[in-house]
Amino acid sequence: MKRSAADVWEELRNQVDFLAEAGGGFVLRRPEDGLEAARRKALEGMDAQVRDCKLCALHTLRTKAVPGEGDRSAELMFVGEAPGRDEDLQGRPFVGRAGQLLRKIVAAMTFREDEVFITNVVKCRPPDNREPFREEIEACAPYLERQIELIRPRVIVTLGKTAADRFVPGRGGMGERRGRFGDYRGIPVMPTFHPSYLIRNEGDRALKRMVWEDMKQVMALLGRK
């Protein structure tokens, strides 16, 4: 009978465990364990770079840069615009009111917070929460690109226009652009409204329904129906 790769691996591990117990001093690692470690190390190195980054003028105004957080091999990545006041103080993404709403959406999608990765287009807070300038977005872009390369999510959800423009540029407001998958280097991208927009329009149930419709499409693609 043909044995599966998992069976072969298990047998090999048992043999090596036995030899190790017998004093052989062996350590058996799957090839992907090494890759995984290298990937994590690269992401951690990048986080440190972001925290020290002075590539654009936003570094002069920040309290803390916000590289992003979550599962470093997440299948689902959320990308917002930029850190706000609370995020700047804590060095963590989406921790203010908009963040609480995003975290509720993540839970409603049947994901744990630590199963997804959350970040922004720019990693330092623009003053008075203004939109980031083009040159700030361009300066910061390699960090986001590298995060995507290393994390390799199966789906990206963009929150608000700045993030949508980065991945699936198009005309019109978010009302016209949301709800349809775009493509970024082979990764499906779902543009939707930013949670802070939902908060600013708290009584608008239709907006919430639209975001939920978008998220249901993402869940279906990820087999989370």
Please report, as ranges, the residues that interact with ligand SF4 according to CB under 6 A: 50, 53-56, 58-59, 65, 122-124, 136, 139-140
Min CB(81)–ligand SF4 separation in Å: 11
Angle at the Cα of 184 (from 130 to 86), degrees rounded to 5?
30
Between 118 and 140, whose beta carbon lies closer to ligand SF4? 140
CA distances from 216 to 106, 149, 192 (A): 11, 25, 12
Please, what is the minimum distance in Å from the beta carbon of residue 88 to ligand SF4?
A: 11
Q: How far is the CB of 131 from ligand SF4 (least distance, A)?
A: 13
Query: Do residues 81 and 159 lie in contact, with contact meaning Cβ atoms separated by under 8 Å?
Result: yes
Q: Are the C-beta atoms of 181 and 168 separated by less than 8 Å?
A: no
Find the shortest distance in angstroms from Cβ 86 to ligand SF4: 17
**Full DSSP string of 32-61:** HHHHHHHHHHHHHHHHHHHHH--SSGGGGT
| Closer Cβ to ligand SF4, 69 or 136, answer by number | 136
- The smaller minimum CB distance to ligand SF4, of residues 58 and 116, is found at 58
By beta-carbon proximity to ligand SF4, the closer residue of 111 and 143 is 143
